[in-house]
Amino acid sequence: MENKPTSFVDRIVVPGDVVLDLSTMTNQTIKLGGGLRQDGDAISVMKAGKLRFSKPNKYWVEGSQKRYVPHAEDSVLGIVVDTKPDNFLVDIKGPALAVLPVLAFEGGTRRNIPKFEAGTLLYVRVVKANPGMNPELSCTDASGKAAEYGPLKDGYMFECSTGLSRMLLSSPTCPVLDALGKKLSFEIAVGLNGRVWVNGASPSTIIIVANAIMNSESLSGVQQRIMAEKLLQRIQ
């Protein structure tokens, strides 16, 4: 069995596969994402899916499941469920509700606590995701800036698989978004937890973008473009 880490990348792996042998890798710090665990020098697979790698050093297993397992630094779409004095309880499609502290906003102080009613849709970052604890969220990036995080107003939110979310976030831009973006102007926020928010100038734009995204999951890049073109022809 090859121990070159690259030999498994983008291939289907199953629980028990040893995908990396740290003893053969020199001075390399690696980051493990979902679906992998370390046992001594061996990095083995815990769930079936494709082994993915992102530079410089992150590996994870990408399965396309409905259920979302939170990981630190994931950007997700959450729905406010309840407000407590110190935090908001947020549904991020994980096994437990997540906690968003009222101060976890750019320049957050006790004086300017945001008011979110139940049902508010938020684009948030997972800060901590430890087993047995509620995940902790923030509406800032790592440097404390709001960046693109915060409430998403208007628009339309729909649910998809976690695999489709990752495809939409891949770079270069995935074909379906590229094709739509050439003809339509719209905003989109994609959560790694399998939720997508779309907003546009008109309801018809929102519907077309949402339908195109939902239809694209099992299509190749070329098929995605053809499907998007067909949908776009209907509104011209």
User: Is 70 inside a domain boundary?
Assistant: no
pLDDT interval class at 62 (50, 70, 90): confident
| Domain of residue 117, residue span | 75-151
User: Is 67 inside a domain boundary?
Assistant: no
| Same domain for 167 and 133 | no
pLDDT tens profile 205-226: 999 999 999 999 888 889 999 9
Whether the per-residue pLDDT at 5 is higher than 60: the answer is no
| Same domain for 49 and 14 | yes
User: Is 163 inside a domain boundary?
Assistant: yes
CATH of the domain at 112: 2.40.50.140
Residue that finishes a domain, picked among 151, 176, 205: 151
Can you give the pLDDT at residue 211?
Answer: 93
Mean pLDDT of 122-134: 93
CATH of the domain at 24: 2.40.50.100
pTM: 0.73
DSSP string, 102-159: TT-STT--GGG-----TT-EEEEEEEE--TTS--EEESS-TTS--TT-EE--SSEEEE
Mean pLDDT of 16-23: 86
Can you give the pLDDT at residue 176?
Answer: 95
**What total of structural domains would you count in the chain?**
3
